[in-house]
Structure 1
Amino acid sequence: MEIEPFALERWFGKYEHDADIMLAESGIRSLPATRFDTDPGDLGYVIPTDGDPDFRKEIAARYGRSADEVVFTCGTQEANLLAMLATLDDGDHAVVVTPTYQSLHALPRSIADVSTVELAPPEWDLDPDAVADAIEPNTRLVVVNNPNNPTGKYHSQDTIDALSDLAADNDAYLLCDEVYRLLADDPLPPVASLGPRGISTTSLTKAHGLAGLRFGWLAGPPEIVDTARRWKDYTTISPSIFGQHVARQALADEDTILDENRALARDHRERVGEFLAAYGLDWYEPVGVNAFPTVPEEFDDSREFCRTVVEAESVVLAPGDLFGFDDRFRLGFGLPTDELAEGLKRVGRVIENAR
């Protein structure tokens, strides 16, 4: 098993620690630990190691599934890894909708053959017929991220239903990374609730502002979850007991948390839209807190622009070439309002100095 370096994480590893402002983070601003009881008692394993059965039952109800059809994980990243290990083997084939978070195409490519279906600007529409054309006799998995990272495109229910039908008709599974789903004002039903071959992965990282919990889950068909559970014995064994403890509290107060975070996202989306319009940059107005605007014409490519911004103004952006689009960059606007305002001000200075 060989896997390519995670280019986005290496970019962050080079610049994030020493920069003043992280304007490329794809989640909402972090909630303070003081909002929760942070004493889970003894710091042992979660028992059973796939998560507390009563809590899994609560989560499973969101998908119309049983507790045995959910496994708790250390974030969405582990959930995606387990889902792919559970569905794919050597000789299998997967179809992945891109651009997307790198692990969603790099992980299946490390196990099986992969074909990609690329979204195109400016609307980033997904054509189910293109997915159908990419499916092969040995296709085992179709992968989509909805809402999409980095574009912020939220594919419609009709589109997701079409993908679900395509997967079922071809004896494949539809895996949807839904980590941004609850930032939408009117979230679509999760894929794991749509049919027997739907797999949903998510966490409390992006929509709830609790990245440090490293708490997520996989929901789906029993044969996939059972296999994922066996793989988990070789990855993290147990989710974080601290994460599970705080996650219970966060989900008990979920409506309040999501109302706050959606309001922040709406306000910041408007601020970013005004900023981009002022500098003549194009974007697709996103669901979630990721923008994927065009690079200012004064710069040759995304890498030159983002390197200039971080070196001149200590603000981290994500070059679009990391997602396959060298004329764009990812701007995350979920951070605290004062940091967003200062970050945009500094990016604006870089653009003005180049003109």
Structure 2
Amino acid sequence: MKIDAFKLERWFAKYEHKAEIMLAESGIRSLNAKQFDLNPGKLGYIIPTNGDPHLRKQIGQRYNRGAEEVLFTCGTQEANFLVFLSLLSKRNHAVVVTPTYQALHTVPEAIGNVTRVWLQPPSWKLNIEEVSDAIREDTTLIVLNNPNNPTGKYHSAEKVDALYDLAEDNDAYLLCDEVYRLIADDPLDPVASMGPHGISTTSLTKAYGLAGTRFGWIAGPRDVINGAWRWKDYTTISPSILGQHIAKQVLGEMEGEILKENRDLAKKNRKIVHQFINNHDLAWNSPTGVI
């Protein structure tokens, strides 16, 4: 399998370590490790390797799913990668809503056949009819990133419902990368909670400010989760034990305060950018969502 270079990551590798002021990131500022208990005990593999059953049950409840319908991963990147490996091949096809995070179209393109449906600027409108027209008999997956990176567009519940209906009607899955979802004041319901054709991926990276934990998950139908777990045996085997230890704390009593602080910070900084643009007579497409 050949894959194109990840242009953004190569750009970061060249310039990020030299930057005195970083304006290229899309996430929240990183939290300090001092806020957490950092002693998970023995530093072995997590057993079972799909993640702690109690934490998977806790997370599964957010999607109206059971523990067996959740798989812990090393971030959202691995979560998406495993879904693509489990559902795509040269014999089938994916529809990817674009522009989006490069991995969400480059990885499927390396595995199978992809049609990209473009959002319409300046409001980055999603045309459901174009997605419908792009679906083929061999389509197994529709891919959405919501809220969208890089545009900041937060597609409405009506749009997401329409995509889910398309997936269901065509015996396909709707995969939604929801890593930015909880930055919103009033987040939409996750796609994995919508029914048997919905898959959600996310992590502690963007909304929580905990990229260094490398902890994420997939929530979805058991056959998809089992297929992803089969591939995970060949990638990272198990999630990070330290990441899981921190996740147990973050997704408990600490969660409300962390998310509130991060949402408030995002609002404050968004206003600063707006003022800067206006004060210097610059033009831009203002984000229409949460980022």
TM interval, short-chain normalised:
over 0.9
Corresponding residue for residue 105 of structure 1: 105
Assess if the C-alpha contact under 8 Å between 2:123 and 2:288 holds in 1. Answer: no
1:286: Cα distance to partner? Answer: 3.9
Corresponding residue for residue 77 of structure 1: 77
Unaligned runs of 5+ in 1: 290-355
Residues 85-234 of structure 1 aligned to structure 2 (within 5 Å)? 85-234=85-234
Q: Does residue 240 in structure 1 map to residue 240 in structure 2?
A: yes
Corresponding residue for residue 283 of structure 1: 285
1:178: Cα distance to partner? Answer: 0.1
Corresponding residue for residue 34 of structure 2: 34
- 1:198 and 1:129 map into 2 onto residues whose CA distance is 20
- Give the partner amino acid of 1:222: R
1:280: Cα distance to partner? Answer: 2.3
| SS in structure 2 of the partner of residue 21 of structure 1 | coil
Corresponding residue for residue 330 of structure 1: none
1:165: Cα distance to partner? Answer: 0.3
- Give the partner amino acid of 2:163: L
1:287: Cα distance to partner? Answer: 3.0
The worse-fitting range, judged by mean Cα deviation, of 19-28 and 77-86 is 19-28
- Give the partner amino acid of 1:227: G
| SS in structure 1 of the partner of residue 140 of structure 2 | strand
| SS in structure 2 of the partner of residue 231 of structure 1 | helix
In our comparison, the structure showing a higher alpha carbon Rg is 1
| SS in structure 2 of the partner of residue 22 of structure 1 | coil
- 2:166 and 2:278 map into 1 onto residues whose CA distance is 39
Question: Root-mean-square deviation (CA), in Å?
Answer: 0.8
1:275: Cα distance to partner? Answer: 1.1
Corresponding residue for residue 260 of structure 2: 259
| SS in structure 2 of the partner of residue 17 of structure 1 | helix
- Give the partner amino acid of 2:87: T
- 1:82 and 1:76 map into 2 onto residues whose CA distance is 10
- Give the partner amino acid of 2:103: S
1:276: Cα distance to partner? Answer: 1.5
Assess if the C-alpha contact under 8 Å between 2:28 and 2:262 holds in 1. Answer: yes
- 1:169 and 1:209 map into 2 onto residues whose CA distance is 37
Assess if the C-alpha contact under 8 Å between 2:69 and 2:225 holds in 1. Answer: yes
Question: Percentage identity across aligned positions?
Answer: 63
Per the normalisation by structure 1, the TM-score is: 0.80
For residues 272-291 of structure 1, the C-alpha deviation after alignment (integer angstroms, 9 at most, x for no partner) is 111112232122334333xx
- 1:287 and 1:132 map into 2 onto residues whose CA distance is 24
For residues 217-258 of structure 1, the C-alpha deviation after alignment (integer angstroms, 9 at most, x for no partner) is 000011100100110000000000000001110111111100
- 1:284 and 1:201 map into 2 onto residues whose CA distance is 26
Corresponding residue for residue 322 of structure 1: none
Q: Does residue 268 in structure 1 map to residue 252 in structure 2?
A: no
1:21: Cα distance to partner? Answer: 1.6
- Give the partner amino acid of 1:257: I
Assess if the C-alpha contact under 8 Å between 1:183 and 1:287 holds in 2. Answer: no
| SS in structure 1 of the partner of residue 111 of structure 2 | coil
Per the normalisation by structure 2, the TM-score is: 0.98
- 1:256 and 1:60 map into 2 onto residues whose CA distance is 21
- What is the number of residues matched between the two proteins? 289
